[in-house]
Amino acid sequence: MNLKTQEALSLFAANTQAIKRGYIWRDNISRRLSALLYAQKNAPINVGAIHQCYKLIKQNTGIFSMFRRNMAMCVATLLSLSENPQEVFSKTLEVYALLKEAKFRESDFLVMAAYQIAVGAEDYSNTISRAKAFYDDMKAHHRFYTGRDDYIFAAMLGLSDLDIAAGAARIEELYLRLKGEFADKNSVQTLVQILVLGGNSEDTAIRVLELRDALKAQKLRLDRTYILPILGILALLPVDISTLVQDLKEAKAFLRKQKGFGRLSVASDELLLFGAAIIAEEYASHINNDILTAMLSTSIASIIIAQEAAAVSASSSAASSS
């Protein structure tokens, strides 16, 4: 693990402690996500800016708005990292309304899909139409695995320049190739969406499996529910598998020693997810391909947000039930 990666991990740990002091009332998952988003921008967390953006959300939405629910802190964090939070949030609300008109259903995932399109698209209608086409194709092939948790990646596919028919066919091809290799078929669907966004190499599936096996040999499991998609990001990086495995092993060990990241505070899977995200962001920044670099950086953030949204939703549902 190089010095820059270690510095990014240290910054993430420091950000986590700083936002914990500023947002005692928020859940740990949301706080760590905000800390990570700042660390990925190589910035110390700005709790005051996040608070101002949280107020902005409340001032512009109703009490029952999805924007005030599980992902409110994530949205506030993303807005605080933008140059013009008010403008970005206004566009996000506009896109959210358009997505609902296109028959996407309200959810935390739709909130994040709206933000992605608002900051990444110029022609909202075309991007949403493309996202809906990709989503409908996934739904037609995998009715029981396709749901609101696919909205974020459908938005990413809509933002891409992939041909819809060819991209959808490639997604299904890779799904059939990999579905027998992993237990959670829903996570496999997300994994192959990431792989398709990353290119059309015939070796992609082989590299994913080789990386999985190399990680398992070191007792590093990125092949489980929620965190499987990050395996796809790592596989897309032009880095030796042995180097990736060693970096991830060292990153996990480093984070585990930081304050607030002990075994009783952070689960092993989540620790791996954070470490892999920072490692991937570091390597992505060195790729001499602006389009691929942008895709990887966006995908890394989107994977983390999607998986944390699922975890927050699951925690909220469990709390409601009890």
pLDDT of residue 314: 62
How many C-beta atoms surround the C-beta of residue 196 within 10 A?
A: 27
Q: What is the pLDDT of residue 293?
A: 67
Identify the domain containing residue 155 by its residue range.
3-321
- Please give the Cα distance from 138 to 127 (Å, whole number): 17
**The model's pTM:** 0.91
pLDDT at 289: 60
pLDDT confidence of residue 322:
43
Q: Give pLDDT, residue 28.
A: 81
How many folded domains does the chain comprise? 1
Q: What is the pLDDT of residue 295?
A: 67
What pLDDT score was predicted for residue 24?
65
Q: Report long-range pairs for 134-141 (Cβ below 8 Å, ≥24 apart).
A: 134/158, 134/164, 134/167, 134/168, 134/171, 135/104, 137/164, 137/168, 137/171, 137/172, 138/168, 138/171, 138/189, 141/172, 141/175
Non-local CB neighbours of 65 within 8 Å, separated by 6+ positions = none
The pLDDT of residue 294 is: 66
pLDDT of residue 22: 73
- Would you give the end-to-end CA distance of the chain in angstroms? 43
Token duo for residue 20: 């914990």
Q: List the pLDDT tens digit at each of the 322 positions of the chain.
A: 889 999 999 999 999 999 988 776 677 888 899 999 999 899 999 999 999 999 999 999 999 999 998 889 999 999 999 999 999 999 999 999 999 999 999 998 999 999 999 999 999 999 999 999 999 999 999 998 899 989 999 999 999 999 999 999 999 999 999 999 999 998 999 999 999 988 777 788 999 999 999 999 999 999 988 789 899 999 999 899 999 999 999 999 999 999 999 998 898 988 999 999 999 988 887 776 665 666 677 777 777 777 777 766 665 555 444 4
Q: What is the pLDDT of residue 75?
A: 95
